[in-house]
Structure 1
Amino acid sequence: MSESLLTLLDWRRRLSDLYAEVRRLSRDDPQAAHAHWQAVRNELFARHPQTPLTAQARADFRALPVWPYDPAYSFSAAVQTDLPPEQFVVQTSAGHDMPLVRVGRVALQNEHHDLGSLDVYWTQVYGGGLFVPFRDAGSGHSSYGGGRYLLDTVKSADLGSLPGGQLVLDFNFAYHPSCFYDPQWSCPLAPPQNHLSAEVRAGERLAARLD
């Protein structure tokens, strides 16, 4: 038990270091940051004791499938906080309740795409953290049907903010929750208001449909 908790501590430290380096590299070379993100995550999934992969999947693991980096899926947005705060209880993949508080909304618009908007949540667990899950038109086909995570600062998945306070929202770093790999994990699923009508062909994906 104690050894498992210490390896979990190491996993979280490594993720924290990874995202700190991603934020540093992204200032000058987002594609290099993305390549580093892939390389470190592949190493952690392949070798770390806290990998979410099952033993069978780990034996066959080569790399996490991701779309090539596409700058058109990188956004920055101020959090619109003029919305009434709402408390939600969302279901996890294991059927548990997860309390969330909506703290605002971000508009996903740049010169390439207008994807609509996503609500931004604060997780009501110890310490709290910013959480932005989403589903898109490809969920269940080109990515996990339960959705992916864009930000989850409780787990150090934090792409940072710009000097003006806008959140960095780069879908190239979107990833599957642990329950996608092993149902023993209980992961909050994206609520209905965080469903995007377009397919987001960036970030982590299913191994099939390599078009």
Structure 2
Amino acid sequence: MTHKHAFKALEKTLKDIMSMKNPLAKDQTFSGKTVLLGGDFRQILPVILQGSRADIVLASISHSYLWDSFHKFSLKTNMRVNQDEKEFSEWLLKVGEGHPESVEEDGDDAYREQMIIIHNSLVQEFKDDSLKQVLDAAHGDVKKLKASQSSYTDKTILTPRNDTVDEINAYTISKNDGESRDYYSYDSFEISDTQSDQNDSLYAIEYLNSMEFPGLPAHKLTLKVGPPVMLL
């Protein structure tokens, strides 16, 4: 995920530092230091704000003048899938290399070449109660979850949006027996050095409670005895 300019800055910095005592270091890649990189170009590439596909690819270390100086070693075994899931493992490799079975549509549509066909075994047909369907597919009956570590760690629900996470969490809580309790965050603000008679209107408690920030919990947390809680 690291932008190629970061590696360029590192190399120039090492040359500046090391050449103070060894002038020959100016002519060595990374000033002669061993640099070990680990990653997979099939996964997340550098993030370029408002960048096109070409901008993202060109920001990768593989398009840097330093890339030819590296020795490449490839890992052959996919440790993220069970070794008996050979067909699924091969399909993942095809997706990563850009050679999966694609959607046959109008060739003039540039986005069609980026679309792939997902095998039916990996798809749950959408029904009326989608939240129940997701929960049942992952954990089964939440009321019968065993209080063991494997019952929580072996299965995970992933979603790209935090709003969906909140929906799934609220649904899971609602399906468990017992009385729920609500816990609230501290809902006041600290007065700055600049005094103002409008603080109460500018920073209304209701407004503060409605704000949500990445990496921070929501103002209201609802819990019951039984459902799993993940602490980070």
Calculate the TM-score normalised by the size of structure 1: 0.20
Q: Which has the larger radius of gyration?
A: 2
Structure holding more strand per residue: 1
Higher RCO structure, 1 or 2 (CA under 8 Å, sep 6+): 1
Calculate the TM-score normalised by the size of structure 2: 0.19
Structure holding more helix per residue: 2
